[in-house]
């Protein structure tokens, strides 16, 4: 990818746009630092969390399984606490 | 704002319980992104792997990174943070070692919020005295613990 300074962009705007039309891309620099890109490709749209869809999925899962999973998680946690307790902690 | 979840919150994203609707409302508001440490990821995965469909969904969500974001951590910094929390709050709060790591990971990843339903440990009070906002809010007992820990911290 070619680099391009702000000064170049100001001086050669028409040439840069022609190059963009041909499919070239540029890294734009200002004060010795890259500040962005000029390219034909539109940015990927930012995806937002879709929690509604997530919880719909959750509601479609077997409720019987829910109880067993939570019980196993709690058992795991209790085991951890028992170990801490045996070291004299968590009193 | 960064929302760091402990394993008890993450479990509620993959298992229905009494808090499911509360969690759904909280996360849907402002379309929050939940940050996850490797520590919490492994703890949850360890349980969910016994139920392949749930584990697949958890891993797919982490891979996608839209709702759950796995936060890369400098573990040296997290361990130093854990020791610092222990030195300041261990005498008063007596947190579990695992709780120390979870809270230290949240602090190290730059979280502003700590999301946890674990009321059977001192984790939520510890998160509060470590400067994190806690959700669901601390109850009366936890607030008392946090106040006491703050006063006596060295």
Question: Nearest CA of chain B to the CA of A33: how many Å?
Answer: 26
Give the integer Cα–Cα distance in Å for B90 and B84. Answer: 10
B96 and A65 within 8 Å at the Cβ level: the answer is: no
Per-residue confidence at A1, pLDDT binned at 50, 70, 90? Answer: confident
Indicate whether A83 and A58 sit together in one domain: yes
Give the Cα separation of A52 and B59 in Å (integer): 18
Rounded to two decimals, the ipTM of the complex is 0.88
Do residues A37 and A27 touch, judged by C-beta distance below 8 A?
yes
Whether A31 maps to a domain, the answer reads yes
Give the total number of structural domains in chain B. Answer: 1
Query: Would A56 be classed as within a structural domain?
Result: yes
CATH number at residue A6: 3.40.1620
- Say how many CA atoms lie within 13 Å of B70 toward its Cβ: 14
Q: How would residue A53 be classed by pLDDT, with cut points 50, 70 and 90?
A: very high
How far, in Å, CA of B5 to CA of B50, rounded? Answer: 21
Where residue B82 sits, what CATH number does that domain have?
Answer: 3.40.50.1010
Average pLDDT over every residue of A52-68: 91
Task: Name the domain count of chain A.
Answer: 2
A32 or A86: which leads in pLDDT: A32
Distance CA B108, CA B131 (A): 12
Residue B8's closest chain A neighbor by CA? Answer: A73
* Tens-binned pLDDT, residue by residue, of chain B (154 aa): 999 999 999 999 999 988 999 999 999 999 999 999 999 999 999 999 999 999 999 999 999 999 999 999 999 999 999 999 999 999 999 988 889 999 999 999 999 999 999 988 889 999 999 999 999 999 999 999 999 999 988 6
- Indicate if the pLDDT at residue A90 is higher than 60: no
Please tell me whether residues A55 and A31 are part of one structural domain.
no
Distance from CA of B128 to the nearest CA of A (A): 18
**Chain A CA closest to residue B7:** A73
Q: What is the CA radius of gyration of chain B?
A: 15
Instruction: Look at A51 and B48 and tell me if their CB atoms are within 8 Å.
Output: no
pLDDT at A88: 65
Decide if A32 is inside a domain: yes
> What letter does residue B18 receive in the DSSP assignment?
T
Contact B66 A48 (CB under 8 A): yes
- pTM to 2 decimals? 0.79
In a domain, A46, yes or no: no
Residue A45, pLDDT > 90, answer no
Closest residue in A to B17 (Cα–Cα): A66
CB contact under 8 A, A51 and B120: no
The yes-or-no verdict on residue A63 having pLDDT over 90 is no
What pLDDT score does B119 carry?
A: 87
Q: A47 contacts in B (CB within 8 Å)?
A: 64, 66
Does the distance separating the beta carbons of B54 and A61 come in below 8 Å? yes
The residue segments making up the domain with residue A17 are 2-38
Task: Spell out which residues of chain A touch residue B20, defining contact as CB-CB under 8 Å.
Answer: 55, 58
Please indicate, yes or no, if residue A45 is contained in any of the structural domains: no
Structure confidence at residue A89 (pLDDT): 58
Question: Is residue A91 scored above 80 in pLDDT?
Answer: no
Q: Which domain holds residue B139?
A: 3-152
Q: Is B142 helix (H, G, I), strand (E, B) or coil?
A: helix
Question: How far apart are alpha carbons B133 and B145 in whole angstroms?
Answer: 15
């Amino acid at each position: 990818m070619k680099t391009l300074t702000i000064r170049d962009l100001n001086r050669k705007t028409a040439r840069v746009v022609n190059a963009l039309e041909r499919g070239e891309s540029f890294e734009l620099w200002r004060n010795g630092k890259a500040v962005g890109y000029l390219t034909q490709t539109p940015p990927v749209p930012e995806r937002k969390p879709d929690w509604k869809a997530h919880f719909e999925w959750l509601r479609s899962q077997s409720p019987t399984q829910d109880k067993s999973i939570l019980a196993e998680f709690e058992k795991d946690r209790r085991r951890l606490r028992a170990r801490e307790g045996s070291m004299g902690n968590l009193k | 704002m960064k929302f760091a979840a402990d394993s008890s919150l993450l479990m509620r994203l993959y298992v229905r319980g009494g808090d499911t609707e509360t969690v759904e409302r909280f996360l849907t508001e402002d379309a929050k992104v939940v940050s996850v440490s490797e520590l919490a990821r492994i703890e949850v995965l360890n349980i969910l792997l016994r139920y392949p469909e749930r584990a697949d969904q958890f891993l797919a969500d982490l891979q996608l990174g839209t709702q759950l974001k796995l936060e890369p951590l400098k573990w040296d910094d997290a361990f130093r943070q854990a020791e610092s929390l222990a030195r300041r709050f261990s005498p008063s709060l007596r947190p579990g070692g695992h709780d120390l790591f979870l809270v230290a990971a949240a602090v190290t990843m730059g979280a502003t919020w700590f999301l946890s339903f674990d009321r059977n440990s001192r984790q939520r009070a510890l998160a509060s005295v470590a400067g994190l906002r806690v959700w669901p809010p601390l109850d009366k007992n936890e607030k008392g613990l946090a106040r006491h820990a703050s006063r006596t911290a060295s």
